[in-house]
Amino acid sequence: MQISYALPAMARAGLLCCALSIAAPARADDLQDATKLLKAGQPQQALERVNRVLAAKPRDAQARFLKGVIYTDQGNTKDAIEIFTRLTRDYPELPEPYNNLAVIYAGQGQYDKARGALEQAIRTHPSYATAYENLGDVYAKLASQAYDKALQIDSSNTNAQNKLALVRDLVAAPTVIASRETAAPVLAQKAAEKPAAPPPAEKPAAPAVAEKPAAPPPAEKPAAPPVADKSAPQDAEIVGTLNAWAEAWSKKDGNAYLSFYAADFKPPKGESRERWEKDRKAHIAAPKSIAVSVASPKVTMDDSDHARVTFRQTYRSDVFKGSSMKTMALAKGADGRWKIQSESVGR
């Protein structure tokens, strides 16, 4: 599921590990299955497994947390906030619900609320590294807003321009909320569990029945010749465009970088094209070195001249490094070149 929130470089809010000492094997199996289903991109099936656990144990902390993560993955932030908020009341000693609340708040642009939630997570668990990283990212976003305000008042302030360029590079490559890939520290299961009933005595095994010799397998039909993938050349062209775009960025060639964007490209947040280009050139010029790479591109053709591609972007400079999932829409121009019409960060 694509999540196109314009977040700062938030560290991924994690899934619960299922390595708890659990007295009820059925509960453990359901939660393990739910986690695997969510990682496999099947949130609705994962939710069904979690609800099965909660039907028997409504206060189960691990199941409730995982349900909140699933809702976040589905974009149902209202119910996710309610779940994580109730967990902070029932288990105020746990940092993960505060952290996940902060990620959601940041996605909504409520950075003061995100900061408060992360500070509470740190008070609860002073060695929780994820919360410290997220708090730094929230501060970076708040700093970006402050520098931007300073430039609105005095556009000739070169110090603010340089600082804004650096800070915006920090928040330009966000890692998205509610990762299905990274496990957070195990959420302690506080609810007392009743001891499991002893397993029933096993019946003696029935005597073995002699097996009949297996019939020989039928002769296989010759395989049909493979069908040529007509989209492969188009995919290769699009991936080549992305690699060239990343190379121009890595070479700090602002003009070449901007040449990959279509004339009808719409900058994020309603910025004017002129302002966006100016900011992008400043972001590219500010670091001493930049390295951008594209990994695992997945191309979907809408028609012969329009495509969408999802990939992992890795950004490294002398002041920042980060990785994020990105989705781009591209269109093929009259000159045969693919150009970027829109881009969003998130998964």
Instruction: Give the start-to-end residue ranges of the domains of the chain.
Output: 25-170, 232-345
CA proximity to 22, closest of 196, 234, 236: 196
- What is the dotted CATH code of the domain comprising 232-345? 3.10.450.50
d(CA 94, CA 100): 11
3-class SS of residue 1: coil
CA proximity to 38, closest of 54, 15, 12: 15
Quick one: angle between helices 96-107 and 61-74, nearest 10?
10
Among 15-24, 74-83, 159-168, 173-182, which range has the highest average pLDDT?
A: 74-83
The per-residue pLDDT for range 261-316, each reduced to its tens digit, is: 999 998 876 778 888 888 888 888 888 889 999 998 999 999 989 999 999 888 88
Strand partners, 343: 328
**DSSP H or E stretch at residue 159:** helix 158-170
Domain 25-170 matches domain 232-345 at the CATH topology level: no
Residue 83 confidence (pLDDT): 94
The per-residue pLDDT for range 129-174, each reduced to its tens digit, is: 888 888 888 888 888 788 878 888 888 888 777 777 776 665 554 3
For domain 25-170, the question of CATH label 3.20.20.210 is answered with no
Residue length of the chain: 347
Residue 86 confidence (pLDDT): 95
**CA distances (Å), 232 to each of 228, 229, 237, 298, 300, in order?**
9, 6, 9, 12, 11
Higher pLDDT, 172 or 29: 29
The per-residue pLDDT for range 212-261, each reduced to its tens digit, is: 555 555 555 555 444 444 446 678 889 999 999 999 999 999 999 999 99
